[in-house]
Structure 1
Amino acid sequence: MEKLDKKKLLFVSLMIFSMFFGAGNLIFPPQLGQLSGTNMIVSLGGFLISAVGLPVLAIAVVAKAGGLHILASRVHPKFALAFTVLIYLSIGPFLGIPRAASLAFEMGVSPFISTTLTSSRMPLFIYTLVYFGIAFWLCMSPSKLVDRFGKVLTPTLLILIASIFIFSLFKPIGAFSAPTGDYGQFPLLKGFLDGYMTMDAIAALNFGIVISIALKQMGVTEEKSLVSNTIKAGAIAGLFLSIIYGMLAYLGAASQVRFGATENGAQTLTNVVFYLFGQKGSILLGVIFSLACLTTSVGLLTSCSQYFAKLMPKISYKTWVTMLTISSTIFANIGLTKILQFSVPALTAIYPMAIVLMVLAFANSFFKGSSYVYLFTMVCTSVVSILDALSQFGLKFSLLNHLPLYSKGLGWIVPAVVGALIGFAYGILKDGIVERNKDLEPNETGM
């Protein structure tokens, strides 16, 4: 088996980290820390399960399956096409990429311009043109992403975030406060649900293509080596993510007493940085947000373009990058608030299906890869998750309120388990009937 040296493996891991670590990864941990207070460690544990554990699991199962489309085909070929396209579009040009660009503007540029200009759409339009111009240039050479991300951009980002944390140790911000809301009653579960919003478990399903190409560029071509090195790199990236999330959550938890409650993690982080570094902190914060969002956008643009180029080979990779960059620019100019209004329902519909698919792939050998288990489980899960998403647009389905854990955002779990049991039982029953018919065939022929 081909072995990748430790230095190259580290660079691939840093590339993966940079593709994961975007807008939500910066704002959700500080918010979690602020609201969980003395329960920060427990809430952070739940957050790490969904924001780190699930993405790393996704990288592993997709690598072993040979790609997202092949994995989703275990449910049904038509489902595989629809689900994979939906995943790439939602995490890509329709939600994930525009959200990253809009947040980068809000945190990196908006604080430096006047109120009059802020109310105008022109600054955002100019910024997104420059932002996506740089992203487009980086996407044109996907083979160079390991060098550009792993050796330059990601180490810079890590150093900047670590500097804020280290500086806070020498200039203490404050003490942890009492937890609020569900962070007091269900800290682990609330942290787990917060991890949804990073979108990383879905993004991880997409990034397999980029990771595979990067490893092949380094001379790793054997299938077993690709899978092994992908999983190793994903695990190391997960370790980096966990460390950074811990730092950000600590900063948020320490800020509650001094600054009080804020509307979101971006404001929390802004208060902390301004306290530690003064007005100059706005520049530091702007660079951090811009780097984080840009690397994520490039990773998503690259993976989406490579997928669609493979799906429709008549249209080249470069053409897809161009089309997706233009569409992302258009959607980014809708504004962060409107993007977030659509992102929550979209995640509500897609995330449960993605999680269930990953869990089934992980337990594949237990039920011997029965297609019925995949099919019934996914049907039960998707019905609940789609209805739940529609309810967030004002369509109410009272039946959902009777599902266990629905009030906690996990109403899909019991239906998924029921679907898996039905699929498993149906598979055994049908296989038994088939075997019985085979046994009867010789007798009937002999008569």
Structure 2
Amino acid sequence: MRFNKETFVAGFALFSMFFGAGNLMFPPLLGLKAGDAWFMVTLGFVISAVIIPLLGIFAHARLQGTMLDFAKKVSPTFSLIYCILVYLISITLPSPRTASVTHEMVIQPFFGTSAWLTSVVYFSLVLLFVLNRSKVLNLLGKFLSPVLFIVVLSIICIGVFSVQNPVINPSEFKTPMIKGLLEGYQTFDAIGAVVVGAVIIISLKIKGENNFIRNRRVIISSGIVAGMGLLIIYSGMIYNGALFSTQFETNVTRTELLSGLSFITLGKIGKTFLSILVGLACFTTAVGIITGTADFIKGLFNNSQKVYILTAVIACFLGVLIGQFNVHNIVTIAIPALMFIYPITIILIVLNILPNRFTSPLVFRAVVVVTIMFSIPDFFGSIGMQKFISPILEILPFGKYSLAWLIPAIVTLILMNVLSYKKDKTIS
């Protein structure tokens, strides 16, 4: 695998589109509560927020189409419904959340202005970038992302090397690895992989790069660069949260913890650095999400540029409306949606990575249907129906850990391939 200037530019652009509000907020608090079990929490978090998204980028490199290709083996109708659902979730939850975080951590503490004003200005700038999408890769990859990476890395390094004989609290989690895995859902990185991966592909094609093998190499290389960046940042932020766990109350909010860590590591200038970090992280993610959504809708309407512009405007308008709510409310609303769509997304990524001989259309359909069926109890449990769902989840393997879909999906994948093998052998 060759790494050159192009792959690093694309890799940093991809990293910046992944590394947004959720990526910044969740790891430190997770580390704080994980305490001495921070490594196991990190392992779970990395699986759902680094490895699976990286596999999603690899799947894009293999398909080099649109998001519709991810689920086309199930059926064209299912694929369309799945894509619309993912893009709808993306522009109504993680995208507005970036504006909410920016307001709470960057604007309100310094200027005291309203959330409405922040959302309007913020998404006006996002729209400006989205409408100039041909420059997105270069702007993100050459300028914004390196600054973003350096700022957060400085906080991590100073924190790690400044503490002598650290005292770390005991963990609050009974199953730290599972907790880390599920918390990784909130980053939206698996969904981000299937959304922004398409942005990289379309951006390459706009630049006139249509060589399949070359593009595959660029996409895979850039995915590895982005994945390494995420791994360093996530593990570092979680460890910093654990490292300073004795200096914060356990009921500290995510934004308060980030501000506190920046002050401890960087002093008074920490808040300024953190403001830059939050603003860049949130902004680049919003640009990636809305660009991907506009690309998709544009593709459904014969590549109409008017449709692209209209979609971008609507997505930014929704961002303004929803982005003025506080972060906690948006995170809470996101949980049920994630409990349903994340397992389906993970399974589609895995199926698209496996060799074709193991993923016939029949296998795709069976595994996805089973995944949906066994995700329903987790979904109902997340909307307050735990009392009625608990007896079912107690029976299912990993059901009490909100992973009731995992074993049935694996068993179905194996069983369907065994049956297909026996059928082929009988015919021959």
**Structure 1 and Structure 2 fold alike (TM over 0.5):** yes
Out of 55, 58, 61, the position equivalent to 1:60 is 58
Offset at residue 258 of structure 1 (A): 2.2
Q: Name the SS of the counterpart of 1:249 in structure 2.
A: helix
Aligned letter for 2:250?
Answer: A
Offset at residue 174 of structure 1 (A): 7.1
Q: CA–CA distance in 1 between the matches of 2:97 and 2:165?
A: 32
CA RMSD of aligned residues (A): 2.4
Whether the 8 Å contact between 1:37 and 1:176 is mirrored in structure 2 is no
**CA offset digits 1:381-434 (Å, max 9, x no partner):** 11121332123223333323311101112111122123324533554577679x
Out of 176, 195, 203, the position equivalent to 2:184 is 195
Q: CA–CA distance in 1 between the matches of 2:326 and 2:235?
A: 30
Larger radius of gyration: 1
User: What is the 5 A alignment of 1:85-100?
Assistant: 85-91=84-90, 93-100=91-98
Residue in 1 that maps onto 2:148? 157
User: What is the 5 A alignment of 1:94-133?
Assistant: 94-113=92-111, 123-133=114-124
Aligned letter for 1:60?
Answer: F
**CA offset digits 1:178-219 (Å, max 9, x no partner):** 43232xx43333222222211101110011221013323555
Out of 404, 408, 420, the position equivalent to 1:415 is 408
User: What is the 5 A alignment of 1:235-314?
Assistant: 235-313=224-302
Bigger mean CA offset, 259-268 vs 220-229: 259-268
In structure 1, list runs of 5 or more residues that go unmatched.
Answer: 118-122, 437-447
In structure 2, list runs of 5 or more residues that go unmatched.
Answer: none
Q: CA–CA distance in 2 between the matches of 1:267 and 1:188?
A: 25
Residue in 1 that maps onto 2:4? 6
1:424 aligns with 2:417: yes
Q: Name the SS of the counterpart of 2:383 in structure 1.
A: coil
Aligned letter for 1:381?
Answer: T
Q: CA–CA distance in 1 between the matches of 2:70 and 2:203?
A: 21
Residue in 1 that maps onto 2:75? 76
Residue in 1 that maps onto 2:308? 317
Residue in 2 that maps onto 1:167? 158
Residue in 1 that maps onto 2:215? 226
Q: Scaled by the length of structure 2, what TM-score is found? A: 0.91
Q: Name the SS of the counterpart of 1:419 in structure 2.
A: helix
Whether the 8 Å contact between 2:35 and 2:172 is mirrored in structure 1 is no
User: What is the 5 A alignment of 1:327-346?
Assistant: 327-346=318-337
Offset at residue 320 of structure 1 (A): 1.4
Residue in 1 that maps onto 2:20? 22
Aligned letter for 1:226?
Answer: N
The 1:231/1:243 distance shift into structure 2, 3 A limit, reads same
Whether the 8 Å contact between 1:345 and 1:392 is mirrored in structure 2 is yes
Aligned letter for 1:88?
Answer: Y
Residue in 2 that maps onto 1:147? 138
Q: Name the SS of the counterpart of 2:147 in structure 1.
A: helix
Offset at residue 259 of structure 1 (A): 2.5
Aligned letter for 1:80?
Answer: S
Residue in 2 that maps onto 1:406? 399
Whether the 8 Å contact between 2:115 and 2:324 is mirrored in structure 1 is yes
Q: CA–CA distance in 1 between the matches of 2:275 and 2:234?
A: 19
Q: Scaled by the length of structure 1, what TM-score is found? A: 0.88
Aligned letter for 2:257?
Answer: T
Whether the 8 Å contact between 2:99 and 2:323 is mirrored in structure 1 is yes
The 1:110/1:173 distance shift into structure 2, 3 A limit, reads farther
Q: CA–CA distance in 1 between the matches of 2:374 and 2:19?
A: 29
Bigger mean CA offset, 375-384 vs 274-283: 274-283
Q: Name the SS of the counterpart of 2:11 in structure 1.
A: helix
Residue in 2 that maps onto 1:439? none
Q: CA–CA distance in 1 between the matches of 2:242 and 2:189?
A: 23
Aligned letter for 1:244?
Answer: I
Q: CA–CA distance in 2 between the matches of 1:144 and 1:198?
A: 26
Whether the 8 Å contact between 2:41 and 2:177 is mirrored in structure 1 is yes
Whether the 8 Å contact between 2:21 and 2:97 is mirrored in structure 1 is yes
Offset at residue 24 of structure 1 (A): 1.0
The 1:383/1:141 distance shift into structure 2, 3 A limit, reads same
**CA offset digits 1:3-28 (Å, max 9, x no partner):** 98711211110000000000111112
Q: Name the SS of the counterpart of 2:244 in structure 1.
A: helix
Aligned letter for 2:288?
Answer: G
The 1:168/1:337 distance shift into structure 2, 3 A limit, reads closer
Whether the 8 Å contact between 1:125 and 1:333 is mirrored in structure 2 is yes
Bigger mean CA offset, 403-412 vs 125-134: 403-412
Whether the 8 Å contact between 1:255 and 1:268 is mirrored in structure 2 is no
Offset at residue 370 of structure 1 (A): 1.8
**CA offset digits 1:218-251 (Å, max 9, x no partner):** 5531112212211110011101111112221222
Whether the 8 Å contact between 1:176 and 1:253 is mirrored in structure 2 is no
Whether the 8 Å contact between 1:378 and 1:419 is mirrored in structure 2 is no
Question: How many positions carry a matched residue from both structures?
Answer: 422
The 1:5/1:168 distance shift into structure 2, 3 A limit, reads closer
Aligned letter for 2:147?
Answer: T
Whether the 8 Å contact between 2:378 and 2:402 is mirrored in structure 1 is no
